[in-house]
Amino acid sequence: MNKQPEFWNGWRDRLAALRNVPTVLRFVWESGRLVVVLGLVSRIIASILPPALFWVSKFIIDTIFRIVTTHQPITNRLWWLVAAEFALAVSTGLVGRLIDYLDALLAGRYMNHISVRVMEHAASLDLVAYEDPVFYDRLERARVQATDRLYMIQAIGRLIQQVITTITLSISIIVFSPWLLLLLIVGVIPAFVGETHFAFLGYAKNFRQTPVRRQLDYLRVLGGSKEAAKELKLFGLRDFLTGRFKALSDQVYNEDIALARRKVIAGSGLSMIGMAGYYTAYVYAVWQTVTGVFSFGTLTLLANAIREASSNLQQTFSTLSTIADQALFLTDLIAFFEMKPTIRSKANALPAPRPIQRGFEFRNVSFRYPGSSRLVLNGLNFHLRPGERVALIGENGEGKTTIVKLLTRLYDPFEGQVLLDGVDLREYDLEDLYSEIGVIFQDFMRYEMTARENIAVGRIDRINDLELLQESARKSMAADVLRKLPSGLDQMLGRRFDGGVDLSGGEWQKVALARAYLRDAQVLVLDEPTSALDARSEYEVFKRFAELTTEKMALFISHRFSTVRMADRIVVLENGRIAEEGDHDTLTTLGGRYAEMFELQAASYR
């Protein structure tokens, strides 16, 4: 009952997937026009060479036969024919090599082109997308497809060549007997159906396996990662991890093998039918020759043409099913390219205000993460005015980082508005807005690149402005870190690459902080940028931060009250809203939530 619709759905999907082919052809075309044109021309030449060769052979044999049976002298015509056959044979070899070369060229270009497109597109998508496992699976498949779908292009080239060869050979056969051709065609159809069917099963299997493969990848990376090594060793987790890896990889392997086995068995049976078609046709040609209907030349021509046409037909069908198969795989790549970011600039977006006059305002903002029912922010109202240094505090998970993400428009609110100078953030040009914000996140990036690059990512167009880089490093105290590095600014950081030097958590923070100073932005946001700093460094960093941001708006998040108390205004976040706000003295005398938290921390120092 169940099998039938699944089978037909499979076919429908396969046909539907062919819609992907034009898109891929466009990518191919974009990656190298001249190479594509040259490739096409050489394939067309290659496709008419075999039939031409067979016809010349026929004429040679018929000429020899006439010379021998009629005892005539050898004519120049015979030598010309032999010369022509030689020329054709040489050309076949040369064109074949040329095609291989052009294929390699195109493959390289296509791979690079698609990889770049995937990176560009992934970077343009919403942050939200990255928190969705379905998106990850799709990105993963798109990545693999980007580099793995070269068959498709080669298959299309081959298809063109095979179709032309098959047509010219078929014409040669039809000239003598149309029935022969019909026989050949009927013979190869079962193999074609089989091929496409298995191609679909293969795709369905890979689709099913993606989550498992993702798990496998994670385990593999974890098993070899520097970050995890300490815990894996001390907690004795090797066997636990390898055991889990082995169980999953065995599962994938067994499924792969089961399908491969079925394919071999069915494929052998089906190609046998094609073979039977070929030999029936051959027997017919032999019989016609023996009875004097065909000449010897014709028999050779037909034998060659039938053999080649039959194998070309079979290949044409299998190439077709390869294309259908590859097209199915490409569904994810194309779906990935069709994903559109929702956070982007509208048409005629406003430039960011310079200077900012009234600052940021959160008006009745509610927010929940996609796929979660909990409101992290619930009707939040909050101001950040120019020249103000505001500290945002609250317990873990109260939504401090979430506020930063909304303020910097990495997310849009679920309800309410975030305004800048009274205008909704969504009205501003996104890139222009981002250029006015310098933010260092709690989970800032440690780039496995040079120290110079690690700082310059804050404003990558100034990577060669040595003075600016050094000044930012001084402000963030990264200069002390750089001084200790053997190659200074050009020291490779992290342990991944040759000659890399790893930094301590606090040292990394100082380097990351330099990015914020490098950015000549009106708004500075620091999300626990000093959590790993020692007490003296933290004090220094914040003193400088206060001095350096007098003209700017600054928002910082910290769990340390020694830092928090330096703020002009402290905002206490609780249950998705603001519980209290004011400066340190006001809040301590108020005797509320802030006073309680402050007392708790102070008590532990006494």
Ligand X SMILES: Nc1ncnc2c1ncn2[C@@H]1O[C@H](COP(=O)(O)OP(=O)(O)OP(=O)(O)O)[C@@H](O)[C@H]1O
End-to-end CA, the chain: 77
Q: Which one of 145, 170, 402, 450 is in contact with ligand X (CB under 6 A)?
A: 402
Cβ 401 to Mg ion shortest distance, Å = 3
Answer for which of 190, 194, 297, 394 binds ligand X (CB under 6 A) is: 394
Name the nearest CA neighbour of 169 among 282, 306, 315, 319: 306
Instruction: Work out whether strand 377-384 and strand 360-367 pair parallel, antiparallel, or are unpaired.
Output: antiparallel
| Measured distance CA(120)–CA(249) in Å, rounded | 32
In degrees, to the nearest 5, what angle opens at C-alpha 545 toward C-alphas 544 and 550? Answer: 105
* C-beta closer to ligand X: residue 191 or 392: 392
563 touching ligand X, by CB under 6 A: no
Give the total of residues touching ligand X (CB under 6 A): 13
Tell me which of ligand X, Mg ion, none is bound by residue 599, counting a contact when its beta carbon lies within the kind-specific cut-off of 5 to 8 angstroms.
Answer: none
Footprint (CB under 6 A) of ligand X, residues 124-143: 131
Answer for which of 369, 414, 447, 539 binds ligand X (CB under 6 A) is 369
Closer CB to ligand X, 469 or 571, in the complex: 571
Question: Of 4, 348, 372, 604, which one interacts with ligand X (CB under 6 A)?
Answer: 372
CB of 27 to ligand X, least distance (A): 32
Location of structure tokens 């190298």: 32
Q: Which token pair is 444?
A: 């800032």
- Nearest to ligand X of 50, 399 (CB atom): 399
Give the residues across from 557 on adjacent strands: 392, 527
27: how many CB neighbours lie within 10 A of its CB? Answer: 20
Please state the closest distance from residue 394 (CB atom) to ligand X, in A. 6
**Would you give the DSSP letter of residue 492?**
B
Q: Which of the ranges 394-402, 480-488, 507-515, 517-525 carries the binding residues for ligand X, by CB under 6 A?
A: 394-402
The CB-of-7 to ligand X minimum distance in angstroms stands at 40
The answer to whether 503 and 226 are in contact (CB under 8 A) is: no
- CB 476, min distance to Mg ion, A: 20
Binding test (CB under 6 A) with ligand X, winner from 2, 69, 76, 396: 396
Q: Among residues 68, 571, 53, 138, which one has the least CA distance to residue 335?
A: 138
Strands 523-527 and 437-440 turn out to be: parallel
6 binds ligand X, rule: CB under 6 A: no
Q: Under DSSP, is residue 485 helix (H, G, I), strand (E, B) or coil?
A: coil
Return the residues of window 431-470 that contact ligand X according to CB under 6 A: 442
From 137-145, 177-185, 346-354, 396-404, give the range in contact with ligand X by CB under 6 A.
Answer: 396-404
The Cα–Cα gap between 59 and 86 comes to: 14
Least Å from the CB of residue 559 to ligand X: 7
CB 384 within 8 A of CB 360: yes
Task: Choose which of 155, 309, 376, 406 interacts with ligand X (CB under 6 A).
Answer: 376
Min CB(413)–ligand X separation in Å: 13
Residues 256, 260, 263, 265, CA torsion sign: negative
Nearest distance from C-beta of residue 136 to ligand X, angstroms: 13
- 302 and 274 in contact (C-beta within 8 Å)? no
Backbone angles phi, psi at 34, to 5 degrees: -60, -45
Is residue 413 involved in binding ligand X (CB under 6 A)? no
Tell me which residues touch ligand X (CB under 6 A). 131, 369, 372, 376, 394, 396-402, 442
